[in-house]
Structure formats: C-alpha cells, structure tokens
C-alpha cells in the first residue's frame, strides 16, 4: 500500500494535543494527549520510507521505525507493536521520554523543508494500544534453563537485560536498594513526563513472567557482591549514577540548598502515595516559596517544572551559558517557559546568602568567550555584574557522578575509569571481575533511558555467551 505513505507532501505535521499551560501547572499528569487512531495513522503515513532511514541509524536501539510507521498507517497495529517491541524493551517509555528532536526525529530526512514524522508520539500510541488490547505479555519462556543471573539495579538497563534473559529461560533475580522497580524512571523522571503506572505495570508483568525482585536490598551492605557471585552464574551491575555533582561556594550547607534528586525523589514518592516527612515539613516542598534551580540540563527542567506544580511563588533557572548552548532538550525548555519559569541565561552562582537558612543566590553574569580545544565556547564572568536572586529553596542540578563502586562492593579488583564509571571490555561488557558484567549509566555516565535499554540488551547477549562457554568448558573437562 505504498500510496498510503509519503503523505508528508500534503499532510502537515501534527503533534498530539498539549494541555494548556495554566491547567498543566495545577497537576502532575502527563502533558500530551494521545493520538486518536486516525491521527496516528495519518501522521505515520507522512513517512517517506526513504532508502537509508536516518531515524533508525540515529536510534540507539536501531528501531525499525519505517516499518512500524508503515504498519501503523495501514492499521496493522498488532504487527506494528511486534516490530517495535522486537528491538525495544520499553517503546511506550521511549515514546514519552526520548529526546526525539536529537535522535530519530531530528534526523528524519523530510525534516528539511517539511517537519519530521512525529515518531515518538506514534510509538507511544502503538504501545499504549498494545497494553490496552493485551498484546504485551509477561516474559514467559518456552523452556526453563538451569542458568542463573543476578542483576544489581532495576533501572532500564537492569530490566532490559532481565527480560531478555528470562525470555530465553534463564533464572533471573534483580536486586535493588529501592522499594520499587524502575530506577530513575520511577524516582527521577517526574510524572508529568512519565506517569508511574506506565513503569509499575511493567513490574507486574515481569513478576508474572517469573523474574524475581529482591527489593530494599543494597548490594555492598545487605548482601555482598561476593555472595552474589557465589549464587549466580553471572552478575550484571546496572546501578546507575547517583552522586550529585557539587559546587564549592559560601553558604552551600545552608538549609534550603538541596541536590536535585533528593527534591525530585520526594516529589515522586508523594505522587506514588508514600508518606514523606521532609515534604510534609516543607523542607522538600516548594509550595509558597521562591525557588532557584541551578543548571541547564533535563534534570534542572524537571526541577523547575515540579516546583511550579507544587505551587512555588516564583521559579528561576540560573544557567551559566545561553539558551542555544543548553544541554537540555529544547522541547522541555519551551514547556518550562510556557509554564511560567523564568530563565536567567549566562548567570553563574557565587554564593548562597542567609544565616539560618538560604535567602538568596548571589550570581554573576557571564559572557561566552573563545572556544576551547573541544570547540565549545568558554564562559567568563563579567566583572562587577553581581546580582542576588531571592530564594527560599535553591536546587542544585549540576549532573551526577558514579558512587565509588569498588569501595561500595569491597572489590578493589573492580577497575574504574578516571570519571569513576566502571571499566568494561567494550566487546564483552565484562568488568575486571570474571563473570561480572556492567551496563547503563554506571558504564556510560549519566545518559538516557534508551541507551540503558540498549546496553542491558547487549549485556544479556554477552552474559549468555559467556555462561554457555563456561558451562561447555566445564563439561569438556569432566
């Protein structure tokens, strides 16, 4: 049905309806509606089915996007879902949180001159439909195998590996120090980008498929890595990166100055119905307060938009570069601006003022200077341009580094890079410890859900190869 495709020449790009900013400010629900079936089919039919699909090339999972767009345009949704799920463990999550403007959609060939196909919104539509129709099944293997893997971390990397190995019949146990499955998808990313039910229903499916979760269990404290290695044929470390990058500035220890993830986790827990004393006491609650967020990435955008929804009286984002040089997704910046966040571009914090608690952030204006060796323009302070931004809460969203895993796991033989990420052999994904593999942010540094999924799937393949080879060597030696 080729005539159904290539409709970009007559059909304009349409994104799903976005709720009005005034309404969005009052709740934590997702901000985009879902495509109606005919809208999804029409938008999918805009794909040009080009010979070299750059959308697929630039997707970390190499998702077969043109094929599932064509199937969607033809109304063959179950097949579209199957093609999409063949390469992606969580298409419904990628459809919601991937920075498509930098990945698939940003590389769509019709993007030049016409607007790109709205790939993410169609992906979300197809997979949400699959859930509703019961096409998404628990990972039940055809045959049970006697191989066992212990996975540390129930984020996207750990879960992607868990599902892949379970489908092949492995005995899979996932350990996590949190009380819920999902990693940053549950406690980092706010509800207005990813409703938590979307993550929790995956947990239920995995349990039904026989994946065992051992929650509230911190490896290195409650159980040692050595014990896991004894118990399982292989271990996967997928622990993410959680150490907040700090700045040295006077007043940094004042009450009211807090790391982004502490603030976001409290908000997500409240949304999930947990009792959070620090939220109830007001310490981690922006209601009625003037909020300043420092940083220019997606975490900063999540903080400013959370503060708006909590009822902050003002929310300001300080970023030391300009808008064009922000690392965060432009889509999220636009959403934040619409919701009433004020941006102070080219401004860097120098000190946190106040005596018993933070009362303001003293900042200095910056200008972009000459490029450094990497080609990125350096920022330089403008002498005498200091100003103070009043603040009852100052949130630091400056990025994340890995915790000291060799110390945490009491395994000095685990080697790390100069950034503290785990060193792995890039082909086998194995760490310096035989049978211990690693995937996701703990290897890459703070990254994206889609890369976590990719790494988890690849690690599962490598683990399988390794364990089968070890078993056949053992059999040959008998």
Question: Which positions lie near ligand FAD, rule CB under 6 A?
Answer: 97-98, 152-158, 175-178, 183-185, 188-189, 193, 218-220, 238-240, 261, 264, 298-299, 302, 408, 440-441, 447-450, 452
Q: In angstroms, what is the minimal distance from the CB of 285 to ligand FAD? A: 17
Residue whose CB is less far from ligand FAD, 110 or 215 = 215
Phi, psi dihedral angles at 273 (to 5 degrees): 95, 10
Instruction: Closer to ligand FAD by CB, 261 or 294: give it.
Output: 261
CB 160 within 8 A of CB 456: yes
Q: How far is the CB of 270 from ligand FAD (least distance, A)?
A: 15
Output phi, psi for 24, to 5 deg: -60, -35
Say if residues 353 and 256 touch (Cβ distance below 8 Å). no
Look up residue 345 and give its two tokens: 């571009």
**CA–CA dist 340, 328 (Å, integer):** 17
53 or 158: CB nearest ligand FAD: 158
| Two structure tokens written together for 162 | 């868990």
**Which residues, in sequence order, are CB contacts of 206 under 8 Å at separation 6+?**
138, 139, 159, 162, 163, 166, 181, 213
Question: Per the structure block, which two tokens stand in for 448?
Answer: 């994206």
Q: How far is the CB of 216 from ligand FAD (least distance, A)?
A: 9
Q: Locate 8 and state its tokens.
A: 């970009």
User: Closest separation between CB of residue 121 and ligand FAD, Å?
Assistant: 15
Give, in degrees to the nearest 5, the angle at Cα 448 between 198 and 285.
Answer: 65
Q: Which is nearer to ligand FAD, 5 or 189 (CB)?
A: 189
Q: Considering beta carbons, is residue 298 or 392 the nearer one to ligand FAD?
A: 298
Comparing CB distances to ligand FAD, the nearer of 221 and 471 is: 221
Q: What are phi and psi of 444, to 5 degrees?
A: -85, -20
Q: In angstroms, give the least distance from the CB of 252 to ligand FAD.
A: 20
Apex CA 323: angle with CA 298 and CA 444, to 5°? Answer: 35
Please, what is the minimum distance in Å from the beta carbon of residue 101 to ligand FAD?
A: 12
Q: Of 76 and 331, which has the nearer Cβ to ligand FAD?
A: 331
With respect to ligand FAD, which residue has the nearer C-beta, 55 or 449? 449
73 or 103: CB nearest ligand FAD: 103
Neighbours of 10 (CB within 10 A): 7
Give the tokens for residue 399: 């990025």
Q: Residue 289 contacts by C-beta under 8 Å, 6 or more apart in sequence?
A: 307, 312, 313, 392, 393
Between 184 and 433, CB nearer to ligand FAD: 184
Least Å distance between CB 103 and ligand FAD? 9
Q: Smallest gap, in angstroms, from Cβ of residue 188 to ligand FAD? A: 4
Q: What tokens were used for 120? A: 């993410």
Give least dist CB 444 to ligand FAD, A: 8
- Say if CB 475 and CB 275 are below 8 A apart: no
Looking at the Cβ atoms of 91 and 440, the one nearer to ligand FAD is 440
**Cβ 185 vs Cβ 155: under 8 Å:** yes
What are the DSSP E strand ranges found in 62-154? 148-152
Q: Which is nearer to ligand FAD, 71 or 264 (CB)?
A: 264
**To the nearest 5 percent, what fractions of the chain are helix, strand and coil?**
40, 15, 45
Least Å distance between CB 249 and ligand FAD?
Answer: 22
How far apart are the C-alpha atoms of 420 and 442, rounded to whole Å? 9
Six-digit token pair at 168? Answer: 């092949």
Determine the distance from the C-alpha atom of residue 323 to the mean position of all C-alpha atoms in its chain, rounded to a whole number. 22
Burial (CB < 10 A; 0-12, 13-18, 19+), residue 81, is buried
- Which H or E element spans position 401? strand 400-401
């Amino acid at each position: 049905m080729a005539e159904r495709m290539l409709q970009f020449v007559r059909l304009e790009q349409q994104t799903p309806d976005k709720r009005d900013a005034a309404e969005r400010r009052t709740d934590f629900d997702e901000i985009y509606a879902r495509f109606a079936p005919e809208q999804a089919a029409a938008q999918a039919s805009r794909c040009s089915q080009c010979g070299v699909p750059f959308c697929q090339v630039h997707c970390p999972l190499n998702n077969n996007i043109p094929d599932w767009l064509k199937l969607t345009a033809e109304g063959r949704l179950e097949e579209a879902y199957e093609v999409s799920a063949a390469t992606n463990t969580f298409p419904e999550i990628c459809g919601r949180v991937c920075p498509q403007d930098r990945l698939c959609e940003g590389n769509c060939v019709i993007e030049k001159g016409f607007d790109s196909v709205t790939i993410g919104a169609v992906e979300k539509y197809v997979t949400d439909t699959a859930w509703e129709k019961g096409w998404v099944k628990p990972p039940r293997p055809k045959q049970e195998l006697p191989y066992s893997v212990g996975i540390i971390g129930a984020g996207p990397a750990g879960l992607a590996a868990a599902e892949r190995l379970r489908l092949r019949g492995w005995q899979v146990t996932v350990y996590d120090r949190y009380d819920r499955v999902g990693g940053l998808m549950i406690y980092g990313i706010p509800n207005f980008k990813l409703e938590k039910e979307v993550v929790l229903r995956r947990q239920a499916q995995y349990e039904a498929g026989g994946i065992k979760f051992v929650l509230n269990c911190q490896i290195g404290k409650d159980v040692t890595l050595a014990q896991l290695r004894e118990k399982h044929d292989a271990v996967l470390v997928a622990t993410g990166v959680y150490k907040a990058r700090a700045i040295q500035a006077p007043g940094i220890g004042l009450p009211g100055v807090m790391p982004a993830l502490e603030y976001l986790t409290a908000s997500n827990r409240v949304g999930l119905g947990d009792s959070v004393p620090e939220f109830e006491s007001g310490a981690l609650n922006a209601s009625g307060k003037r909020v300043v967020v420092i940083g220019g990435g997606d975490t900063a955008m999540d903080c400013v938009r959370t503060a708006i929804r909590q009822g902050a009286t003002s929310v300001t984002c300080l970023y030391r570069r300009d808008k064009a040089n922000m690392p965060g997704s432009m889509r999220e910046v636009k959403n934040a601006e619409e919701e009433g966040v004020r941006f102070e571009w080219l401004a860097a914090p120098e000190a946190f003022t106040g005596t018993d608690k933070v009362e303001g952030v003293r900042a200095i204006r910056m200008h972009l200077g000459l490029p450094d060796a990497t080609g990125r323009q350096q920022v330089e302070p403008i002498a005498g341009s200091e100003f103070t931004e009043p603040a009852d809460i100052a949130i630091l969203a400056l990025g994340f580094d890995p915790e000291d895993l060799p110390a945490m796991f009491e395994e000095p033989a685990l080697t790390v890079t100069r950034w503290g990420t785990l060193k792995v052999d890039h082909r086998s994904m194995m760490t310096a410890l035989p049978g211990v593999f690693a995937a996701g942010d703990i290897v890459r540094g703070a990254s994206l859900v889609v890369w976590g999924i990719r790494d988890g799937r690849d690690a599962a393949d490598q683990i399988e190869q390794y364990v089968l080879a070890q078993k056949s060597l053992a059999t040959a030696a008998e």
